[in-house]
Amino acid sequence: MSMARHSPARSIAAHAVLATYTIIALFPVFVIVINAFKSRKAIFRTPLELPNAESFSLVGFETVLKQGDFLLYFQNSFIVTVVSLFMVLLFGAMAAFALAEYRFKGNSLMGLYLALGIMIPIRLGTVAILQMMAASGLVNTLTSLILVYTAQGLPLAVFILSEFMRQVSDDLKNAGRIDGLSEYRIFFRLVLPLVRPAMATVAVFTMIPIWNDLWFPLILAPAEETKTITLGAQVFIGQFVTNWNAVLAALSLAILPVLILYLIFSRQLIRGITSGAVK
């Protein structure tokens, strides 16, 4: 921040690089959103043009809201994401606390085992998961999705959170023990608030793949009443005809809830990402 290190040329260059990246990253989203508000013809003729008086049309949104039960799909996606997120954060934090706080035989092996899931994609086990869900009668329920996503999110959560838990002062936990707090209260009241930025980071990294997932809803819960929004949007993609207006409108709508969740977590997120570096 000092004047000596502040050169306008360098600052412009840095901003140019960042701006370029931002444009590249946002461009597809931008195209989806503008085309959602255009007529079918305009989508194909001038896909990069902003909607104007002539091309503006809400037909996509009308289709989405009329056809199919989009409110239900939204609700399903929301339930699955929020419940999975809650379970991942709760169990991940608890496991991380145990790994970071207690000395027991095989502690580091256990930590390694729990983190192994980061490297092995859960989709490799799809067939077995489907068999398991079928055997326990969970096919076409939101529960099946929640269970799978919880398992999918836990390894990264345990890995990141246990690193942060180790940084929480031992003295603080010991002070709690001397004051007679139970281990649960020490965990919930003393430790969790201190690792909140890390929790937010984990929440965002966990939430986005769950919200966007098409694979497991397609395999485990394709029934009409358990469809998620990503799966729901697929009804407009046909083998011969695709209703692009509706697809783009559905996707535009699907961005909203996750964007709101992200905004809730993002202030904490930045602190979580940088906290290791500047402390």
**Phi then psi dihedrals of residue 79, to 5 deg:** -60, -50
Nearer to other proteins, 6 or 103 (CB): 103
Nearer to other proteins, 10 or 177 (CB): 177
CB 157 to other proteins: min, Å: 23
Closest of 118, 126, 119, 132 to residue 213, by C-alpha:
126
Nearer to other proteins, 40 or 196 (CB): 196
Contacts of 101 (CB under 8 A, 6+ apart): 165, 173
Tokens 């989709």 belong to residue = 123
Is 207 within 8 Å of 85 (Cβ atoms)?
yes
CB 190 to other proteins: min, Å: 6
CB 186 to other proteins: min, Å: 10
Nearer to other proteins, 160 or 186 (CB): 186
From residue 261, give the alpha-carbon distance in Å to each of 68, 78, 198, 254. 25, 10, 16, 12
Please count the residues of the chain.
Answer: 279
Residues that bind other proteins (CB under 8 A): 169, 171-172, 174-181, 189-190, 193-194
CB 203 to other proteins: min, Å: 20
The token pair at 215 is: 């694979």
Nearer to other proteins, 171 or 277 (CB): 171
CB 180 to other proteins: min, Å: 3
